[in-house]
């Protein structure tokens, strides 16, 4: 379980996040949505420890991780980044093995156990067949799955993701999110995922948290949060809400004004 307790983040004098309060339970997927610049990325980055926090604490299963060293923290929280500007000369295998870093000595020597876990992660993310390819030889969708595999190899209870679907086409978006949901359920992972696409968020998330101007304004099920009033006030766009013919999840369609 991930608990973000009264988190505030500043860039210099400018306050980016105000008193964020959010709990994500084990086995639950929470999507973080909101307009550009609302603070989604900053929230993900500060929870992962990359940005220093001014106030507040972050708990993983009742353990305060803000007090931990970088390496210990990386055993609790891992991040699937966007697959942009990947180092081209690394192989898929070398990349995924780096996920074992929090358990290695400073020389990065891997044991048979580390290699077995990396192999398993490759299999789970469906990229085992790419093991010998270089990162610049595979597609964007494949790169994104390799990064998911690296995170699975990191073997943490908490998984954060910063818009992992942004650079993918539709089928890769759906494949990736299906893969993530499957593993979150199987391994009882806690997943917090920043997403741009409201419909994807509605389809795959158990709950949705909306960030606006650095404040967490609403959190709840897709039905509770993705109403035309809330979306209109957050995104300043009139929308119609339909219902997904297969799942019943809200479907958001922008209106064309008057």
Binding footprint of another protein on the chain (CB under 8 A): 45, 48-50, 69-71, 73-75, 77-79, 81, 85-91, 94, 98-99, 101-102, 104, 106-108, 134, 136, 154
Nearest distance in Å: CB 238, another protein: 36
| Closer residue to another protein (CB): 75 or 207 | 75
Exposed e or buried b for every residue in 53-69, given b needs 16+ CB within 10 A? beebebbbeeeebbebe
Nearest distance in Å: CB 79, another protein: 4
Nearest distance in Å: CB 73, another protein: 7
Q: Which residues fall within 8 angstroms of residue 3, CB to CB, at 6 or more apart?
A: 22, 23, 24, 58, 59, 60
What is the CB neighbour count within 10 angstroms for residue 48? 19
Residue-wise DSSP of 190-251:
EEEEE-S-HHHHHHH-SEEEEEETTEEEEEE-HHHH--HHHHHHHHS--EEEEE-TTT--EE
| Closer residue to another protein (CB): 104 or 215 | 104
3-state secondary structure 38-78: CCHHHHHHHHHCCCCCCEEEEEECCEEHHHCCHHHHCCCEE
| Closer residue to another protein (CB): 150 or 207 | 150
| Closer residue to another protein (CB): 29 or 86 | 86
| CA contacts within 13 A on the Cβ side of 114 | 18
| Closer residue to another protein (CB): 106 or 257 | 106
Nearest distance in Å: CB 101, another protein: 5
Nearest distance in Å: CB 86, another protein: 7
Nearest distance in Å: CB 239, another protein: 33
| Closer residue to another protein (CB): 108 or 220 | 108
């Amino acid at each position: 379980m991930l608990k973000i307790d009264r988190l505030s983040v500043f860039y210099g004098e400018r306050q980016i996040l105000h008193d964020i309060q959010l709990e994500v339970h084990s086995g639950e997927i929470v999507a973080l949505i909101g307009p550009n610049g609302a603070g989604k990325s900053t929230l993900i980055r500060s929870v992962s420890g990359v940005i220093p926090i001014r106030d507040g604490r972050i708990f993983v299963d009742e353990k305060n991780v803000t007090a931990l060293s970088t390496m210990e923290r990386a055993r609790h929280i891992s991040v699937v980044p966007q697959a942009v500007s990947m180092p081209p000369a690394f192989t898929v295998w070398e990349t995924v093995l780096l996920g074992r870093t929090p358990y290695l000595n400073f020389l990065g020597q891997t044991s048979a156990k580390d290699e077995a876990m990396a192999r398993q992660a490759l299999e789970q993310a469906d990229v085992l067949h790419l093991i010998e390819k270089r990162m610049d030889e595979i597609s964007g969708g494949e790169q994104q799955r390799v990064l998911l595999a690296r995170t699975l190899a990191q073997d943490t209870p908490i998984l954060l993701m910063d818009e992992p679907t942004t650079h993918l086409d539709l089928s890769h978006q759906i494949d990736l999110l299906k893969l993530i949901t499957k593993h979150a359920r199987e391994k009882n992972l806690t997943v917090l995922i920043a997403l741009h696409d409201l419909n994807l968020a509605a389809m795959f998330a158990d709950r949705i948290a909306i960030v606006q101007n650095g404040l967490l304004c609403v959190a709840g099920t897709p039905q509770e949060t993705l109403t035309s009033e809330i979306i209109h006030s957050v995104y300043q766009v009139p929308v119609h809400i339909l219902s997904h013919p297969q799942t019943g999840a809200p479907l958001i369609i922008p209106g064309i004004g008057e």
